[in-house]
A and B are shown apart, each in its own frame.
Chain A
Amino acid sequence: MAELRAHRLSKHFAGIRVVNDVSLTLRPGEIVGYLGPNGSGKTTTARMLAGLLEQSGGMVEYDGADVRNDVLAFHRHLGYVPEEPFLYPFLSGREYLELVGRLREVPERLLAAKIDGFLELFGLTNAADQSIASYSKGMRQKIVISAALVHDPAIVIFDEPETGLDVATTMMLRHLVRTLAVRGKAIMYSSHILEVVERVCDRVIVLHKGTVVADDSIDRLRVLSANRSLEGAFSRLVIREDPESLARNLADVSAMSA
């Protein structure tokens, strides 16, 4: 299986640089955690890696070739779970998965079996024929995850996939990610939840204001930052304010009375 490499990726919107010289590699069987505060450029990077957003500079390579040369071929190997699960609200969950599977040219019988499997495992069988408009955010997220895996991709990019999911599904998702990696998939896992990243990922890239500030294994990050937890390491790398005093101030504002 092939690697996905990003070389000095950058992106600016209206002159504002959102991602700056990001380089990373996703190897088969490896889960790379992508961490960063809100607005640090995680989603922008993920969209550039998925070929959904044109980069302002740099290059994304898959199997040694620039993905822009043949985006369609690259997409055959890619599964993408976006941060915002925008779906066609007038389709049912089953119809949506059929649409995606057919466009990916999954054989009809295999597709039907896969869709039934995903719907059953995600507990969506009863809601499968209802319109997506009536789905909760978690249900939509489950449909998006199913759609990303329906064609058995070699690379999967998860952009905050646990948004809206219940505890049981989040736990199942962690196991799913690990299982996919064991089966040789290259996985990028972008998340806010440090505990999940710590348990699931082999390597972590930390992004701050669009720039990579750390790229290493979790153990080495702990050692380098002289912290026993990933949370401590992350705090040292990107958090400038004292969280405790900020929390106290917020509680004070909440307690204000007339």
Chain B
Amino acid sequence: MEKRPTAYVLLTRLFLRQFLENDLLSPEGDRSQMLAVVGASVVSLTLFISMFMSAQYAMNMLVPAHAAVQTLNDKFFYISLAMLVTAITAAAQWDALAIDQRDAAILQPLPVRPRTLRLAKLTAVAMLCGAVAIAVNVFPTWIFPWMVAFSVPQMTAQQLFSFMAVHAAITIPAAVFGFLVIIAVREGASAMLGPRWFARVSPTLQTITLIGLGIALLLLPMQTTRVGQRGLSGWRMALPPTAFVGAYEVASGGFLADLPRRHMTQIEAKRDRAFAAIYEERQPLFPPLAQRAQLLFLAVAGIVALATLINAHRSPAAAVVAPGRRRRSRVTDLANRFQRSAAGRAGFAFAAATIWRNKTHRLTLAAGGAVGVAAVVVALSRIDLEQGGVSIRLLMIQPLLYGSLLVAFRHLLRVPAELRANWAIEMAWQGQVRAFSSGAQTAALLTLAAPAILLLMPVVGVAGGMPLAVAHALLGLLGAAIMLEALMLTYDGVPFACSYMPGDNMRAMGPIYAAMFLIGAVMFARLQLAILSGTFTIPGIAALLVLLVSLRVASSRRRRIAQVDFDEAPVTIRQLGLHS
């Protein structure tokens, strides 16, 4: 008799498919193509990183103590990378991590026990977590120990395989830990807030989480340099990867430092003694760190279990209940205040809604924000705020942050909010491209640049006092308006209502644009310093205003022939593939 899959198996398959058909990663995407792209990205990224990071071992012979200290950096890096990649995967799959409103609406009327539903979701999430944890660690587990063995030939085959086993045994749980942290954040917030409130804050929480993880990933290379040499004290000590490094060293028994010494030159012997002293200094920290890693893992797993149990007793459908009273939209208020024409208000409200609520748009903005914040952190890491005083480096952080966000916004203009829904804009469109774009532009200025500028005001305030910070913020708003005008000057489409057209020759032009952006930020910071210090105040402000007005005039004189794009053929024709 033919064996039929059970409801549990069918639902697990369905939930696994949901991960690939995620709106954030693959809106309208092809499943197999998506699987191939994600798989290839993770594998090639980790292969490339492993080869790149391990090249130093292949090219140098190290004394054992040096190898022991040097590998601490790489262990910290691989553990952090594993945690971050799985955490980003989990954050990208945010809504699919639990039974959401859509699942509830579709599956609850079916004759499936809620327990089976939850078990299937749990299995699918566990399978995703396991697959990503293994995929991200498979190449480092093979390549890193092999390459270390090249630089320390005393290592025996048994020690090499034991090294590999320990690497996998630590980095895979570290990756699972990263995944669990995101589930703990999501489920914890859901348990505390309840379905209705969680439904409201969930998109913001997801965005903040993605931005935070993106920043951490960008800063990872800088922060893992010379960890072993600098020591595991201070803020680094509090990081979860440090605890897992301790577990790594305890599990491996610190065998690299104890490898038999070959014949060494005087310099090598001196180096060996110096690194041995460093390693011995770190060694007592490892057992308590290992213990902390265990506790952290258990604590996060405990939070996940508790929050999941609490949420299991609530129906996700509860979040769909109407709020009951009309909420006056703040976006509508802002649109009415800042835009005089009806089309301008439409552009403002539509842009403000789509950039924050559309998942693809949100992801792009999160990436832009992550780049900006990373640049700010790098710039700030070399400034001693306690010394006081305003420098170009300090003033530069503002254009770097809002500039990254505005560049992301400029890219988003070409990404349709929902191609199939654009017929409505086509029907209502009266050719008001200038007013509609101006509304979208104002929305970017008020909802992206202004908050970024306000966010950095206290930092400048600490260094130069609040009056200067306020003046700096106002100059920043002027700078953001100029940048937006410049970015929009060559844009001829209807914002968010055109088919996506990739930019030409971005591989060649990308670095040039990036360099121009950095040079522009430095120049603007110099001008700001001159204005704020009083040496060039009136001419400086006048120059900025003239530039803004000139750009606006140039933009209004530009002849725009905008077209709204949508799927114009009837659905049946598209489904049959007849529409060429």
Contact = CB atoms under 8 A, between A and B. Distances in A.
Interface of A: 13-14, 16, 18, 38-39, 43-44, 47, 50, 52-54, 72, 75-76, 78, 80, 82-84, 86-91, 94-96, 98-108, 125-131, 134, 147, 151
Interface of B: 101, 320, 322-324, 326-327, 329, 332, 336, 342-343, 345-346, 349-350, 353-354, 357-358, 417-418, 420-421, 423-432, 436, 566, 568-573, 577-580
B358 A86 contact: no
A107 B424 CA distance: 19
A108 B341 CA distance: 10
B346 A103 contact: yes
A82 B342 contact: no
Contacts of B423: 52, 82, 86
Which secondary structure dominates chain B's binding surface? helix
Contacts of A87: 418, 421, 424
Contact of A102 (B346, B418, B573): B346
Given A131-B357, A147-B424, A18 B573 contact: yes
Given A52-B423, A102-B343, 11 more contacts: A47-B568, A52-B568, A78-B427, A84-B571, A89-B421, A98-B346, A102-B342, A102-B345, A103-B429, A129-B327, A131-B357
A134 B319 CA distance: 10
A13 B343 contact: no
A89 B359 CA distance: 11
Nearest to A129: B327
A108 B569 contact: no
Contacts of B336: 108
Given A88-B417, A90-B357, A147-B424, A47 B570 contact: yes
Contacts of A89: 418, 421
B572 A90 contact: no
A99 B420 contact: no
A13 B569 contact: yes
A134 to B, nearest CB: 6
A130 B322 contact: yes
Contacts of A75: 426-430
A86 B420 contact: yes
A171 to B, nearest CB: 25
A162 to B, nearest CB: 17
Contacts of A86: 418, 420-421, 423
Contacts of A99: 346, 349-350, 424-425, 428
A14 B579 CA distance: 6
B430 A80 contact: no
B54 to A, nearest CB: 45
A72 B425 CA distance: 11
A22 to B, nearest CB: 15
A88 B570 contact: no
Contacts of A76: 430
A82 B568 CA distance: 11
**Which has the most chain A C-beta neighbours within 10 Å: B329, B418, B570, B572?**
B570
Nearest to A147: B424
Contacts of B571: 43, 83-84
Contacts of B428: 75, 99-101, 103-104, 147, 151
A145 to B, nearest CB: 12
Given A103-B342, A103-B425, A103-B432, A14 B570 contact: no
Nearest to A105: B342
Contacts of B323: 129-130
Given A53-B569, A86-B418, A86-B421, A134 B346 contact: no
Nearest to B320: A134
B331 to A, nearest CB: 8
A52 B326 contact: no
21 contacts: A14-B578, A14-B580, A43-B572, A52-B566, A76-B430, A82-B423, A88-B417, A89-B418, A90-B353, A90-B354, A95-B353, A98-B332, A98-B349, A100-B424, A102-B345, A102-B349, A103-B425, A103-B428, A103-B436, A129-B329, A130-B322
Most buried by B among A16, A52, A102, A134: A102
B570 A104 contact: no
Contact of A88 (B421, B429, B431): B421
Contacts of B432: 103, 105
Contacts of B573: 13, 18, 44
B419 to A, nearest CB: 9
Contacts of A128: 326
B354 A88 contact: yes
A104 B425 CA distance: 9
B342 A108 contact: yes
Nearest to A150: B428
Nearest to B417: A88
B570 A44 contact: yes
A70 to B, nearest CB: 10
A13 B578 contact: yes
B349 A95 contact: yes
Contact of B570 (A80, A83, A95): A83
Contacts of B429: 72, 75, 103
A107 B327 CA distance: 21
A126 B323 CA distance: 7
A186 B577 CA distance: 34
Interface centre among A72, A78, A99 (most CB of B within 10 A): A99
B326 A129 contact: yes
A78 B426 CA distance: 12
A130 B326 CA distance: 10
Contacts of B320: 130, 134
A59 B424 CA distance: 23
Contacts of B579: 13-14
Contacts of B345: 102, 108
A126 B325 CA distance: 7
Given A43-B570, A102-B343, A134 B101 contact: yes
A28 to B, nearest CB: 20
A134 B425 CA distance: 21
A27 to B, nearest CB: 22
Query: Across chains A and B, which 6 residue pairs bring their CB atoms closest together, nearest first?
Result: A90-B357, A102-B346, A103-B428, A13-B578, A86-B420, A126-B322
A170 B423 CA distance: 24
Contacts of A102: 342-343, 345-346, 349
A78 B430 CA distance: 12
B417 A90 contact: yes
A122 to B, nearest CB: 14
Contacts of B572: 38-39, 43
A50 B428 CA distance: 11
Contacts of A47: 568, 570
